[in-house]
Amino acid sequence: MLGSAAQNIIALTDSVFLYYLGEADFAAIGFVGVFYLTVTAIGYGFSKGGQIIIARRMGGRQPDEVRRAFYSMLYFELALAVVMFLFMQYGCESFFKLFIDSPLILEKSLEFLEYRSWGIFASFAGVALIALYTGIARTSFLLVEVFVLAGVNILLGFGLIFGYWGLPAMGMAGAGLASTIAEFIGLAVFLIYMFFDKGIRPFKMLQLPKLEIKEIKNIGASKRAAVVPIIWKTAKMCWAVTMVISLPVVIFPQTMLYPLLGKEDMSLIVESQPVLWILLGILSLFSIASVYFNGLSGTGATMVGLKVQAVGVLFYVVYIYLVVEVMQAGLVWAWAAELFYWVFIFGYTLWYLRSKEWHRLSF
């Protein structure tokens, strides 16, 4: 999930900087930032499918098939990036007008996207590389890559948004440009590492293969009995890391959030404490349920995952509409939708994995 984590770090950095720039800028990044995250999530979702295929080929000890699967995924991601780029460049103004009433916020959103849209190529290529390294179980460098990307984005964002270190003060446009440059630098660092990585040489990644995928009947290395215990071990680790990060924010919100929001928003922090406890519950459940759901996808049961998520999202939307629009309940009840959603996802995923239906899957 490092691909999505990097995008969230970039979005958070942009939001914090633009919070200090102006109210309109902060409102605009709140909208266009989520929109861009949604676009990148499309590429990330497709890369998960490629990761599943690569992991299976790796488990079956078929390095040539790993290479073919990677390049097939990469070509598809780049083609998809072209489509997304053209939409962001030429279709977003009309699309945004359906949701934005303020001409100023619309203008600032488009100003950000003018530069940010170019980063979609680096983003989609990056998630393909992440899928490759995750699929072949060589993930040690991925965390370094995230730190490089985040560090470059923070430095460039600070300089290009506010005009420090001789850089032009570009505001919203500077945030978009900084994030795009950071993504391309991150991609370049990844490619350099990949070029010198001895562990990937057996896959002959510099040789472009024909676009064909042969069917095999094995699932990974045929160690089906080890799948669920590994998922549970990963889920426990994910939960522990989530708690280490989340608990200090929930227990000491005024101390932890002060560097981000400043003293003028202390009342807002105090009033948000009940919601923070709900968020802690959501993060606890999400950290475990998402690992199990990704484990389900990793078995190749992607259609099952799609159906489960479709039902979950339908319930989520209906619940939010009733709670917010009809009952006009508070934020706590609105955020409770996340709890119900992840309880459903986790419950069904756990049942499916224990049913061993996935043992019969093959492709």
Closest CA to 70 of 209, 193, 187, 222: 209
CA distance 13 to 101: 26
Q: How many CB atoms lie within 10 A of CB 263?
A: 8
> What is the full per-residue pLDDT of the chain (363 aa) written as tens digits?
455 677 777 888 888 888 888 888 888 888 888 888 888 888 887 787 777 778 777 776 777 777 788 888 888 889 999 999 999 888 888 888 888 888 888 898 899 889 999 999 998 998 888 888 887 777 778 788 888 888 888 899 888 888 888 888 888 888 889 999 999 998 999 888 888 877 777 767 666 655 444 433 333 444 556 667 777 787 888 888 888 888 887 887 777 766 666 555 566 677 777 788 888 888 888 888 888 887 777 666 767 777 888 888 888 888 888 888 888 877 888 888 888 888 998 888 888 878 766 655 554
Cβ atoms of 44 and 124 within 8 Å: the answer is no
Q: Residue type at 266?
A: M
Closest CA to 149 of 109, 176, 184: 184
**Around 12, how many Cα atoms within 13 Å sit in the side-chain half-sphere?**
11
DSSP characters for 218-253?
Answer: --TTS-GGGHHHHHHHHHHHHHHHHHHHHHHHHHSH
Give this prediction's pTM: 0.69
